[in-house]
Structure 1
Amino acid sequence: MGPQQPGSSKKQNKAAKNAKMAAARQRVAEQREREAKAARRRSIFIGSAAAVVAIGVIAGLAAIVMTSDDGDSGPAGSIDAEVTVAGNVSSTIPGVVAYTASRDHVGSGVDYKQVPPVGGKHDQRWLNCGIYDKPVQNRNAVHSLEHGAVWITYDPSLPADQIEKLKAKANQPYMLLTPYSGMPKPVNATAWGLQLPLDSVDDPRLDEFIKLYRNGPQTPEQGAACTGGVGKPA
């Protein structure tokens, strides 16, 4: 083979240089593709995590709303109900204790000193009148008292036949009947600012209380609705 020509050597050098540049561009392109894929994976992961957090927040809010609306009992809050015994107010029914009570609306739990509550600050939503087999939210039931309801509460351990008697008495408009733990007496009749503790469902004063105070003269908002609020009677 004869000696290599100068022009041929230049062409080979240029071809080699072009090949190196092409290889370098290929490596850069591959690196950029890897980085792009990694960025897409991070974006999908972050988006999924955000979705999980959002679902958790929504579920938590839904649980709060359902707890507030379904009438289940909840822990007492830090807001004072502002209820005091009214020594200058009397009832024609022996044994009735009278109170003066604030009527402000609040958006959170209220600390009621009376068991069950007899009035005071309460939720802006009233409890639908009717018969309930489970405890209800105090702050919603108090709003129903403001609308004229008589709220009969009974110890959950009360015999079934006695509960049935109470249900018969509560089966009329502007009446609430619910179980209630921790009462001094097994039965209580409550209207806005008035309360009658009873030892027996057969005490004739219970019927007198219902007749006199169901949507009676003590009602701050006499004739206001006792339906269209929250809670589902049994």
Structure 2
Amino acid sequence: MTPRSESPGSKSGNPAKQLTIKEQRAEQRALKVEAFKREQAKKRRTKKIGITAAIVAGVAIVALLVTSLILTSPRNASYSAGGSGAEIEGVETFTNTNNHVQAAVEYPQTPPAGGDHNPAWLNCGVYTEPQQNENAVHSLEHGAIWVTYDPSISAEDLDLLKTKLPRTHVILSPFEGLPSPIVLSGWDVQLQVDGASDERISEFFEEYWKSNDVPEPNASCTGAVDGPGKA
């Protein structure tokens, strides 16, 4: 049999389907949408990673600050109120008057260890500036200990001194013209030491802090006058 000849315009086999212009445009739009979705997903992942990293970093910073405060903040020492009558080497005792006055007072001790004083007491606490004698002496009347230090002592010595302070009924402040670098004063008692490492500081607190031998034992050391430079 003689093969049938094909017409000039006919094609053999099964050629791929040719897309129309409309279909081509639809396919391009679909590709663009898919690319946009991938880009948005990538941005979301990057943002999530950034937020997580920021949270972790923030938690780490807070933890570091808390640890730093714990390590550097002085802890309050603990003492028994009153005393047992123990003798402490170097402690001087006095007999001072005890009147409320409005005028300035010339005290026989430097710093004062009792005497006439202002009707308003100095609120206990840590001060970075010198305080008014007449207000601080009133605090001594309530059983507080006034710890004064020469402004020239080292920062290390001052930090060590702070660790020996109780939580209440204590005043810490600089004082010009002290007879020694550090002086501890209670009502009619006083101790001079050369440095914060002196063991007698703790002994003095144990014996004279919140003493029952003061004119007004167990009276408050808050609720009156805040001096300058209170920390």
| TM-score relative to the length of structure 2 | 0.61
Check if 1:121 corresponds to 2:116. Answer: yes
C-alpha deviation, 1:113, in angstroms: 2.4
| Other structure's SS at 2:173 match | strand
Is residue 131–residue 171 contact of structure 1 (8 Å, CA) maintained in 2?
Answer: no
Asked if the contact 1:130–1:177 (Cα under 8 Å) also holds between the matched residues in 2, the reply is yes
The equivalent of 1:161 in structure 2 is: 156
Write the deviation string for residues 1-47 of structure 1: whole angstroms up to 9, x where unpaired: xxxxxxxxxxxxxxxxxxxxxxxxxxxxxxxxxxxxxxxxxxxxxxx
Corresponding position: 1:110 with 2:110 = no
Runs of 5+ unmatched residues, structure 2: 1-84
1:201 is aligned to 2:182 = no
Classify the secondary structure of the residue corresponding to 1:123: coil
CA distance in 2: counterparts of 1:192 and 1:171, whole angstroms:
17
Match of 2:208 in 1: 213
Matched residues in 2 for 1:180 and 1:170: separation? 17
3-state SS of the aligned residue for 2:94? strand
Structure 2 residue aligned with 1:10 = none
8 Å CA contact 2:86–2:207 kept in 1: the answer is: no
Match of 2:136 in 1: 141
Tell me which amino acid in the other structure corresponds to 2:88. Answer: I
Q: Which aligned segments of 4 or more residues in structure 1 are displaced greater than 4 angstroms?
A: none
Cα pair 2:130 2:175 within 8 Å, conserved: yes
Indicate the SS of the match to 2:191: strand
Question: In structure 2, the residue corresponding to 1:141 is in which secondary structure?
Answer: helix
Shift of 1:170: 2.2
**By percentage of residues, which structure has more strand?**
1
Instruction: Kindly tell me the number of residue pairs found equivalent between the two proteins.
Output: 145
How far apart, CA to CA, are the structure 1 residues paired with 2:205 and 2:146?
A: 9
CA RMSD of aligned residues (A): 1.3
- Secondary structure of 2:98's match? coil
Between the aligned partners of 1:130 and 1:195, the Cα distance in structure 2 is: 19
What do residues 82-127 of structure 1 show as CA deviations (whole Å, max 9, x unaligned)?
xxxxxxxx96111100001111000111111211000000000000
Q: Larger relative contact order (C-alpha < 8 A, sep ≥ 6)? A: 2
CA drift at 1:212: 1.2
Identical pairs, percent = 45
**Residues in 2 aligned to 1:198 and 1:218: alpha-carbon distance in whole angstroms:** 23
Normalization by structure 1: what TM-score?
0.60
User: Does residue 224 of the first structure (1) align with residue 213 of the second (2)?
Assistant: no
More deviation, 188-197/169-178 = 169-178
State the distance in 2 between where 1:193 and 1:140 align: 16
SS in 2 for 1:177: strand
1:74-93 residue pairs with structure 2 within 5 A?
92-93=87-88
Larger Rg: 2
